[in-house]
Homo-oligomer: A and B are copies of this chain.
C-alpha cells in the first residue's frame, strides 16, 4: 500500500483516540473521522457501516459495532435508544435532550438550558443517577 500523508483532521482524531486509551487502528481512525468531522451527528450502526462503504473505508459490520461501543465506553459517543429496533449513537456527549420525529426517524438535540427539570426526585435508596434521558416525540 502507498504511504499517505497524515492530515490535520487525522491528527485530531488520532489524539482523541490515543488520549482515550484506544489504539488508533486504521479502522477506528477512519470511523472516528467520519463521526467527528462533521459536527454533531446521530447515526445508527447500519448507517455508519454504509457510510464507510460509500467512502471506500473497508470495515466489517462487527468492527463498526465494536468501535461504536468502544467509543461509547470512553465517552466519545452517547447511545440513545428510541425503540426496540432503533438505537442511535450521538456525537454530542454533553448534557442535552432530544426531539424525535416519528415519521422521519430523525433525532434533534435540545440544549440542556432549554429545559428546566425541577424537583428531580432522589433515586430511591440514595443510589446514583447514571443519566437522565428526555425524549420529546413529535408526531410529524
Contacts and interface: CB of A to CB of B under 8 A. Distances in A.
A99 B117 contact: no
Contact of A134 (B108, B129, B133): B133
Quickly give the copy total for this chain: 2
Contacts of A67: none
Helix, strand, loop or mixed for chain A's interface? strand
B132 A134 contact: yes
A115 B121 contact: yes
Interface string A78-113: 010111111100000000000101100000101000
B116 A117 contact: yes
Interface of A: 79, 81-87, 99, 101-102, 108, 110, 114-121, 123-125, 127-140
